Amino acid sequence: MSGALLYLPYAVAVWLFLAGAYGLVRSRHLVHSVLCLAVVQSSTYVLLLSIGFLAKAGAPIFNPPQVPSGSRSVDPVVQALTLTDIVVGATVTALLLAMTIQIHRRKGTVDPHALRLTRG
């Protein structure tokens, strides 16, 4: 039982990925699909940080007297990747929302089912 529980974080990452994808497929409003995309992005953050985690270890920030001897801290590389990714992902979301506003200006609707390339 404890062995299976140790794979829970990865299961949560896969669940978030598939749930977000399901929301994208069934979406009826472009803002709803942008938020589902954000959920899919969050699944990658959960996966990265779960891979880097070490049980009973602290954050990768140290005080001068205790210069680390290479153990008992979680992975700093995945943290560096994730924190830039969150901020940059927010600006990409902003770009998508700006495009949604533009689509509404041009076509009068934000329903993806009503927007087809072959119509007007």
Partner 1 sequence: MSDRARTVLFFVSAAAVAAVLIEGISGLSPFGVHQSAYAAMLLRVAVLERHVLNVATAVNFDYRGFDTLGEEFILFTSIAGVLMIFSELRGGKTFYPEPMDEPGDRGRTAAIRLFATGLAAFVAAMGMNVALHTSITPGGGFQGGAIFGSAVVCIYLGAGYAALDRTAKKSLLDFLEALGGAAFALIGVATAFVSGVFLKNSLPLGAAGSIPSGGTIFAINAAVFLEVGCGFALLLLLYLHQTCKTEEEQR
Partner 2 sequence: MSLLEIIAFLAVAVLGAAVVATRRPLNQVVVFGLFGASMALLFFVLQAPDVALSQIAVGSLAIPALLLVTLMKTSDKI
Per-residue contact flags (x/-) with partner 1 for residues 78 to 117, judged by CB under 8 A: -xxx-xxx-xx-xxx-xx--xx-xx--x------------
Report how far residue 120's alpha carbon sits from residue 112's, in angstroms, rounded to the nearest whole number: 14
Report how far residue 7's alpha carbon sits from residue 120's, in angstroms, rounded to the nearest whole number: 50
Of 79-98, which residues contact partner 2 (CB under 8 A)? Answer: 79-80, 82-83, 86-87, 90, 93-94, 97
Question: Which of 62, 68, 77, 101 lies at the binding interface for partner 2 (CB under 8 A)?
Answer: 101
Q: How many CA atoms lie within 13 A of 28 on its CB side?
A: 0
Q: In which element (H, E) is residue 30 found?
A: helix 30-52
Question: Is there binding between residue 41 and partner 2 (CB under 8 A)?
Answer: no
Residue 103, both tokens: 């689509």
Nearer to partner 1, 83 or 109 (CB): 83
77 binds, among partner 2, partner 1, none (CB under 5 to 8 A by kind): partner 1
